[in-house]
Structure 1
Amino acid sequence: MALPVSSKVFIGLFVGGAVFYLVSTSSGEGVLDYIFVDKVVDNPAMYSGRMIKVHGTVVPGTVKQKKGEAGDYTFDIEREGRRLPVHFTSMVPDTFAEGGEVILTGELQDGRFESEEMAAKCPSKYEERPSADPSKSGR
């Protein structure tokens, strides 16, 4: 038994409207810009006050934890010689280390990146170590 044309049109409009609603209400949430720290430092006005993900390397010697406060850290991240100060207010992952790569989620506020979420790259123990014998380089 075939549906009348008016029913097909109604169903099509309903499905199309539902899809439009879902796309329009969810596209602004959950998808954050992923930017390397040098781009943020070069153009702070573009990223200030927006939730973004920033990727950089923790500058050795800059990590400080506020006394008596678990999960209140300040440190700098860098890439291509450009540094960005960070205020991190959560527990750092076990893989967090000076000189290690991190991806932070947060907002740039007054020249400092405020973050509560971090992913830290695993240590380089999984990377191939250079060999003294060039014939064993694996390339």
Structure 2
Amino acid sequence: MRNLKKKRRIQVIMVAVLTLLVSTALIGYAMRDGINFFRSPSQVMEEPPGPGETFRIGGLVEEGSIVRGQGDTVRFSVTDGGASVPVTFKGVLPDLFAENQGMVGTGRYVNGVFEASEILAKHDETYMPKEVMDALKEQGVYKEPDA
């Protein structure tokens, strides 16, 4: 009787461990495309990511770089003061998207151009994403907003 209880307890523990391992593997598999790391333009130029890697890039839209192409294709450059990365985006830009304003884009870096699938612009005069602010401070370009 005592041996049967011990055997049953070991079976329950093994099933629990197996269930935990399977659920952890499934969560990791589901999140593999959902995790997008942030990179500044300087980091992208120093160590270019692979063409299949989706990531976020942020900085300031470089002055004089916005070029509207045919249809809804837009080309511009994003900078953090240390480096500049050309960006292409096909779609409708946010209303607050403008030169010398903060932005964050999600996409892939292919053949020296960041192909954005999503562009986010700052939502008011004082907001800037923390990652963008940190990258600009690192380059010595960040200016505190006027109060």
What secondary structure, in the 3-state scheme, does the structure 2 residue paired with 1:124 have? coil
Structure 2 regions of 5+ residues with no counterpart?
128-143
Identity of matched residues, %: 22
The root-mean-square deviation of aligned C-alpha atoms, in Å, is 2.4
Report the equivalent of 2:22: 18
User: Which ranges of structure 1 fall in alignment gaps of 5 or more residues?
Assistant: 131-139
Over residues 71-90 of structure 1, what are the superposed CA-to-partner deviations in whole Å (9 max), with x where a residue is unaligned?
x1000111123111111112
CA contact (8 A) 1:100 1:123 kept: no
Q: 1:5 to 1:96 in 2, by over 3 A?
A: same
Q: State how far apart, in whole Å, the 2-side matches of 1:6 and 1:43 are.
A: 49
Matched, 1:48 2:65: no
In structure 2, the residue matched to 1:73 is 74
User: What is the rounded CA distance, in whole Å, between the counterparts of 2:56 and 2:107 in structure 1?
Assistant: 7
How many residues align? The count is 125
The 3-state SS of whatever aligns with 1:22 is helix
What is the aligned partner in structure 2 of residue 112 from structure 1? 113
Letter in 2 for 1:66: G
Alignment of 1:1-139 (within 5 A): 4-5=8-9, 8-9=12-13, 11-44=15-48, 47-49=49-51, 50-67=53-70, 69-70=71-72, 72-124=73-125, 129=146
| Alpha-carbon displacement from aligned partner over 1:41-88 (angstroms, at most 9, x marks no partner) | 2222xx131211001110111111113x02x10001111231111111
User: CA contact under 8 A between 1:58 and 1:76: conserved in structure 2?
Assistant: yes
Q: 1:40 to 1:27 in 2, by over 3 A?
A: same
CA distance in 2, matches of 1:82, 1:10: 53
Deviates more, 1:15-24 or 1:78-87: 15-24
